[in-house]
Amino acid sequence: MPFPPAGGIQIGTLNPATPTPFDVETLRSQLENIGLNCGQLTDQNLQAYINEVNAQLPMGAVQSYAITMPSAGPPSSQQADELGNPIDVTSLAAAVPAAADAATGNWTINDKAQGYANQLEVIQVPDHFNWLYANRASNGFTGVVDSPPAYTGNYPNAAAIQQLFVNVGVTASSTLVKGLDQATMQATFSNIIQPLKDPIPANYDVPGSRAIYLVDNYNTTTGYADGIGVLTVQWTLKITDWQRKTKDGGDTHPTNLTISAWSVLYYDPGVLCADYKAVLKQFGIDPATAPPCPIS
């Protein structure tokens, strides 16, 4: 379909926001989450650590209007019968894992704004995205996938965590032609190190992911953007025998960091809605349970 006269995609009102900071306090909290609360966590050392991370991030232009993480609640793909037994249903709740807000990006979405967030949430699910990537390029799907080689070696724990920050940002940004806005990357870093379960395990082996909802060149006057999309980044950081101290054999530990990212930016709302409807049909999701696309 042709673009509206204003150009781009109408998404309604986005409100300017201050991205969640990646600063001394958020970094200290994350490192303490995993027991790294030694005397080295001074403001000066932490700020130097942050400066080193930021210096390795690419400059990008695509901004965000939401950053989400998997919900800590029960999976939305499980619904219970009258006896409390989980059952599968052909509904949107069965197809899309529950998510929660993780951080604030460059904008926040007005409840009445179109935003296409519901449709993009469906598209970014790995099985859905992979199917679109394999089957709908000829219909205009322009998704990009990046799965760089694993980052491996023997490193101090703090250096391994630093590489998690850097590689998440670099890999996520690499999937976008214009790159990802640095403030969005930094907001994403603000809480990616979650508290460990008690007791602390002998080996650190923690997965994580974030879905970043994208907006390209949003115009506050018209409520249109050149493009809108979603980027998902997923990682697993493994550190072997990570609690071992110098007297027991050294401060470095075998480290393995794997990251993958996938994204799509839509510049035509017709293509976005066609992909969304194709996913509903392909995966047997009852359209009556799914929000309709803002355009027919």
Closest by Cα among 16, 192, 193, 36 to 106: 16
Residue 160 lies in domain = 9-289
**Residue 151 is which amino acid?**
Y
For residue 1, tell me if it sits in a domain.
Answer: no
Closest by Cα among 262, 260, 259, 242 to 251: 242
Prediction pTM value = 0.89
DSSP result, 198-251: SSPPSSEEEEEEEEEEEEEEEETTTTEEEEEEEEEEEEEEEETTTT--GGGT-S
For residue 4, tell me if it sits in a domain.
Answer: no
Distance, CA of 56 to CA of 77 (rounded, Å): 38
State the average pLDDT for the chain: 86
Average pLDDT over residues 258-273: 96
**Residue 29 is which amino acid?**
S
Of 92-101, 189-198, 228-237, which has the strongest mean pLDDT? 228-237
Contacts 24+ apart (CB under 8 A), 244-253: 251/156, 251/157, 252/154, 252/155, 252/156, 253/154, 253/155, 253/156, 253/157, 253/160
In this predicted structure, which of 15-29, 82-96, 121-135 has the lowest mean pLDDT? 82-96
For residue 294, tell me if it sits in a domain.
Answer: no
pLDDT in tens, 206-241: 899 999 999 999 999 999 999 999 999 999 999 888
pLDDT in tens, 130-185: 999 999 999 999 999 999 999 999 988 888 999 999 999 999 999 999 999 999 99
Q: Answer for the pair 225, 211: CB distance below 8 angstroms, yes or no.
A: no
For residue 2, tell me if it sits in a domain.
Answer: no
**Residue 71 is which amino acid?**
S
Angle at 101 between CA 79 and CA 36, to 5 degrees: 110
* Structural Rg of the chain based on CA atoms: 21
For residue 236, tell me if it sits in a domain.
Answer: yes
pLDDT at residue 27, as a whole number: 92
Distance, CA of 203 to CA of 200 (rounded, Å): 9
Residue 29, SS3 per DSSP: helix
Distance, CA of 253 to CA of 156 (rounded, Å): 6
Per the structure, the count of domains in the chain is 1
The strand pairing partners of 236, in sequence order, are 207, 258
Distance, CA of 287 to CA of 209 (rounded, Å): 27
For residue 295, tell me if it sits in a domain.
Answer: no
Residue 15, SS3 per DSSP: strand
For residue 39, tell me if it sits in a domain.
Answer: yes
For residue 72, tell me if it sits in a domain.
Answer: yes
